[in-house]
Structure 1
């Protein structure tokens, strides 16, 4: 399926050909949420069907799932155009979908949400404006000062320093390399498979099914990331111990001050490897992009992941919202 036509508006298939166009619209906004990049959406749409169109001079990204269509991001563009485009996009979704419940705009940054609410407020009050819309707070992105992650100063980071020191003492022959698609792809896939196997060994049986559902999508995402690595604006590093790849991580630049970690995996059985590669990648992102902050995304609603991300003492938690039309 290359195009989808709704209300006489042609939605084109979202693929690498959309990269330059989407990035030109992303430059018109300045947010620090990890979802607001081409690479992030392209990678995670590897097992789904995405469509896009220019509506009211904004870039609008849709996803078709189970025959219903919704938006992965709010319309991207100048503020005065975004508000009108939101209403136009709801018309498109409502026309196509079997139920208005499926019509929604996800991962809305509060900056865009405030603008939308203000726009609706003209000539009315906030409560009347929201009668037609339901705005639901979802997950938050965890954002850190990059120097905090590099220096790990103070008692708050004592356990992280200890883990890194144990790793360095146990594996003095470790080495870091810049990720190379040709050299590292098969080894990264092998490490990912081992990581999945190790995680399910120690996981309560009642959690395995939900975990494997998520892994199904992550596996496709990693394959697409590696397959098109050289065509995406991403950078990564890998870590070796005794010439065996034990960890990898990939990230990108979100804006002039903030970078993100798209994905990170380490051998579950190599203690301290995760803490070590995270600090090394923080150094790499600062050196490559001059970033002041690192966004590691949300916790996907997993309590254990939330604890890990909170343990690094985020500088700020940026909420993401979903807009429904009643």
Structure 2
């Protein structure tokens, strides 16, 4: 894959080789948002669409879509360098794009927004920034205390406990295995295909159209995740009933206190399977990484997914923002 040259700036391909580079820069910040890992970005990008550069001592991740350049994350680096790096990145995007309105920075965390608005002592420059940019709140990440997801104590988790107990009673022959990318590859893809078919059946028509548009990308992401599973340092579980795969999940560490669930799929026809594998994987994440919190990502704007994630009583919701140019 070739470099991308824009003016005098060279953007390099975002390949597996970039993992240690990005992770070095991620150590300079303390963010518990699920998007701030190498794997979270790598598996969702097409092989030809991701590019990065180092600008003002910050790691800057771009994606090319239809010839237009945007940023998947704000510049990653020391706080004192980030704002100027953002300005430089907008210049790169404007140099490439057919209109400045295509340029944007996604998944920006809150403290960066505060810093962006109040970046300098001179009020005139601050007002100039507010005049030139629009900040829009987008989705939120759902973060839970790991102990809460494991113990499921209290009335608020009564339904979850009941569903898990019914699953164990109905399927006493279930077995859980550690996810192995080669061994389980075909079964995982088959379950994903079934999950898509079942999901569309129970989804409102207006949501189904949007949902199906992203299925190709998600299938590609799962295959990419499995292909590079060991290199990405992921952990996961699968669950079988009568030698048929009924659920799989995978995740990773975000920072010292927080791990995240990258993906989880279960067979809709096996009641309680989703609740059971989520609890078991929460145990694994806590034990393996020694974390206090588990981030399950955002709800992608789907009301059903929002209801499910809220039903687990999140410890906190972390807003994510997008910065546009006016």
TM class by smaller structure: over 0.9
Aligned to 1:142: 142
Residue in 1 aligned with 2:28?
Answer: 28
Taking the TM superposition and a 5 Å limit, the aligned residue runs for 1:44-83 are 44-46=44-46, 49-83=49-83
Q: For 2:191 and 2:132, how far apart are their aligned partners in 1? A: 48
User: Aligned-pair distance for 1:123?
Assistant: 3.6
Once superposed, what is the RMSD of the aligned Cα atoms? 1.3
Contact 2:119 2:126 in 1 (8 A): no
Shift of 1:209: 2.1
- Deviation (angstroms), 1:46: 3.1
> Hey, what does 1:111 align to over in structure 2?
111
Change (3 A) 1:123 1:208: closer
- Cα separation, partners in 2 of 1:203 and 1:27, compared to 1, 3 Å: same
Q: Please show how residues 215-234 of structure 1 align to structure 2 within 5 Å.
A: 215-234=215-234
Deviations 1:106-143 (A, max 9, x none): 00011222222221453448555411111111000000
Residue of structure 2 in register with 1:296 after alignment = 296
Please show how residues 1-326 of structure 1 align to structure 2 within 5 Å: 1-46=1-46, 49-120=49-120, 122-124=122-124, 127-326=127-326
Query: Structure 1: any 5+ residue segments left out of the alignment?
Result: none
Per the normalisation by structure 1, the TM-score is 0.97
Residue 206 of structure 1 deviates from its aligned partner by 3.9
CA distance in 2: counterparts of 1:278 and 1:295, whole angstroms: 12
Using the alignment, how far apart are the partners of 1:231 and 1:34 within structure 2? 18
Helix, strand or coil: the match of 2:270?
A: coil
Give the CA deviation at 1:55.
0.7
TM-score with structure 2 length normalisation? 0.97
Instruction: Report if the CA contact (8 A) 2:195-2:267 is conserved.
Output: yes
Inter-partner Cα distance in structure 2 for 1:67 and 1:192: 31
Label 1:154 to 1:127 Cα distance change in 2 as closer, same or farther (>3 A). farther
Structure 1 runs of 4+ off > 4 angstroms? 125-128
State the alpha-carbon separation in 1 of the partners of residues 181 and 153 from structure 2.
35
Residues 265, 110 of structure 1: alpha-carbon distance in 2 compared, 3 angstrom cutoff: same
